[in-house]
Amino acid sequence: MCELLGMSANVPTDICFSFTGLMQRGGRTGPHRDGWGIAFYEGKGVREFRDPDPSCDSEIARLVQNYPIKSRIVISHIRQANAGRVCLENTHPFMRELWGRYWTFAHNGQLPGIRSKTLEHYVPVGTTDSEHAFCWLLDQIRERFPKPPKRQTTLWRFIHQCCEQLRELGVYNMLLSDSRSLICYCSTKLYWVTRRAPFTTAKLKDADVTIDFRQETSLQDIVSVIATEPLTHDEEWQRIKTGELQVFKRGQPC
């Protein structure tokens, strides 16, 4: 299956270190050779890169690895195709507009019964079960809330209910954002770690790269990283429970 990577931070932060580990799993240390993508929020805007080639061999991935794009919310994905051919329109993350905001979405898993969920407003461009699930989810949100609810917790509870319905169809691990928060749902496997002062060093599992966060951060920085599998050897990653929705805002779990 695919792998997910997300980041939530209280200040604009680059994801070069974590992305360096993830891109190795896209065909070198892992089997996820069927495309990759990453989305960086900048305010309400999104800077997005996608490529149907393996991330370990992608020149675009090397650009992202070496160019420190600063963002408070990032969603990334490496694909091992199981539904839909290998092509650009089938690479994650997917993006749609709702309430004047860009929503981005990435999924890990298989949903063989997803086409039983009818669509009203949003239509997939590609042929993946993942994009169909995203379109259905936004349809449900749009129907339930024609305007944004006053409390974000109300929205999160409703999204959780929708995710539970999708999990009944198969494996549904998800990252979702509307630029305000990073919403994570776990069906089988999803981990997170929060980095804050006092900072230490960390070493990637998939590349011979070590970073000293003390040299890269200020004392006020708070950054949470979410991944399908822990990316580092020497940090204490927390596992999200099956059926749990975990939301991050400004680097911290809510």
CATH code: domain of residue 211: 3.60.20.10
* pLDDT of 146 above 90: yes
Q: How far apart are CA 76 and CA 74, in angstroms?
A: 7
Q: How far apart are CA 107 and CA 3, in angstroms?
A: 8
Span 198-208, average pLDDT: 92
The per-residue pLDDT for range 77-103, each reduced to its tens digit, is 998 877 778 999 999 999 999 999 999
Full domain range(s) for residue 157: 3-253
What rounded mean pLDDT belongs to the chain?
94
Query: What is the predicted pLDDT for the residue at 80?
Result: 81
| pTM for this prediction | 0.95
Q: Which of 64-68, 136-140, 177-181 has the lowest mean pLDDT?
A: 64-68
Indicate the residue type of 130: S
Query: What is the predicted pLDDT for the residue at 252?
Result: 95
The percent of residues above 90 in pLDDT, for the chain, comes to: 84
Query: What is the predicted pLDDT for the residue at 219?
Result: 86
State the catalytic residue, choosing from 2, 56, 162, 184.
Answer: 2
**CA 231: distance to chain centroid?**
14
Please answer whether residues 122 and 135 qualify as being in contact, where contact means their C-beta atoms are separated by less than 8 angstroms.
Answer: yes
The total domain count for the chain is 1
2 counts as catalytic: yes
The per-residue pLDDT for range 39-76, each reduced to its tens digit, is 999 999 999 999 999 999 899 999 999 999 999 999 99
